[in-house]
């Protein structure tokens, strides 16, 4: 064991990695949650309780959580979930609101959300059992485009929306390039397709409201190569292993193989999550296009276009 803080895991040997990272790769929890477990003195290495996450280890089997040995990593799995409006993307909510884990069906492995969607936002939410992969997919450096269908009250000016490609500062926060294009109009409302890479907290709503357009519906239809497709609210579909291997290059990973085999979660692990199918396309470097809105089976993305005829001026 080493107390070096090299996050690349290069301390005391090429195989040494941070304890929190190894816990996440074993599917126990996310990296950040693993660091909290360490701070709570619940993690030990060789029976020595850790007091800091700045520790690297060369063998995951030396790690215990609440006295239990770290489980072997499960095969990496990703699920597509159509998050309904009105549920929180968290495990527990102090306000007692319904969470995604109450909506997800039984029988799934313990899953973690890749990024979040606000309470009133809906659409595609990726779920994975791999904490390290979760962190990787959330980073802006991954370069994956998040695409949304946004209904706003008003009549956005196309030239004004085009300026968002240069980025914009709202209340002191700088947002990167955003591609926003008017799609259709229905009475006092307008549907706008928005594509971005950062996906910061409430980014779409804040930017639109800064321009003077109040968002009354927000639907995420794509996250990188994965599409919402024709999935209904609450529906879950697993991404096939072959698609994961093609899109994420996980087949070459010596630590975690792509597959669908199930493994028992360790004691004190989170609630489980659910399965879903993949969505076509290559790691999202192309903005929205109707031809790209097809799932791996070639199904037309019906959900990408919410019913614009439903008026709503609230």
What residues act catalytically?
118
> Which helix or strand (DSSP H or E) is residue 25 part of?
helix 19-25
Contact assessment for residue 237 and residue 231, using Cβ atoms and an 8 Å cutoff: yes
Residue owning tokens 């993307």: 89
Three-state SS at 287 = coil
The CB-side HSE value for 299 (13 A sphere, CA atoms) comes to 16
Orientation angle between helical segments 31-39 and 131-138, nearest 10 degrees: 120
Query: CA geometry: angle at 169 spanning 166 and 172, to 5°?
Result: 160
Three-state SS at 305 = coil
d(CA 243, CA 241): 5
* 63 phi, psi to nearest 5 deg: -95, 140
Three-state SS at 78 = strand
Other CB atoms closer than 10 Å to residue 311's CB: what's the count? 10
Sign of the torsion angle spanned by Cα atoms 314, 145, 118, 307? positive
182-198: burial string, b at 16+ Cβ within 10 Å, e else? ebeeeeebbbbbbbbbe
């Amino acid at each position: 064991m080493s107390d070096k803080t090299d996050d690349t895991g290069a301390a005391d040997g090429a195989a040494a990695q941070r304890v929190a990272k190894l816990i996440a790769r074993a599917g126990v929890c996310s990296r950040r949650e693993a660091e909290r477990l360490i701070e709570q003195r619940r993690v030990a290495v060789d029976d020595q309780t850790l007091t800091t996450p700045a520790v690297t280890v060369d063998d995951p089997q030396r790690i215990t959580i609440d006295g239990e040995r770290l489980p072997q990593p499960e095969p990496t799995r990703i699920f597509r979930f159509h998050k309904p409006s009105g549920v929180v993307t968290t495990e527990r909510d102090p306000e007692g609101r319904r969470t995604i884990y109450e909506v997800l069906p039984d029988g799934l492995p313990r899953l973690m959300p890749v990024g979040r969607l606000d309470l009133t936002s809906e659409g595609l939410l990726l779920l994975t059992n791999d904490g390290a992969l979760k962190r990787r997919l959330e980073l802006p450096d991954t370069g994956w485009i998040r695409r949304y269908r946004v209904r706003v009250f008003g009549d956005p000016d196309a030239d004004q929306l085009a300026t968002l490609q240069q980025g914009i500062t709202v209340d002191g926060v700088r947002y990167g390039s955003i591609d926003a294009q008017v799609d259709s109009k229905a009475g006092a409302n307008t549907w706008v397709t928005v594509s971005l890479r950062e996906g910061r907290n409430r980014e779409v709503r804040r930017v639109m409201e800064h321009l003077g357009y109040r968002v009354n519906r927000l639907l995420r239809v794509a996250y990188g190569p994965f599409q919402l497709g024709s999935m209904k609210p609450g529906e879950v579909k697993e991404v096939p292993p072959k698609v994961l291997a093609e899109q994420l290059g996980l087949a070459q990973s010596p630590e975690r193989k792509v597959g669908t085999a199930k493994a028992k979660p360790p004691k004190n692990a989170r609630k489980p999550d659910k399965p879903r199918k993949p969505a076509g396309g290559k790691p999202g470097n192309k903005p929205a296009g109707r031809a790209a809105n097809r799932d791996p089976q070639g199904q037309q993305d019906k959900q990408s276009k919410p019913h614009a005829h439903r008026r709503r001026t609230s």
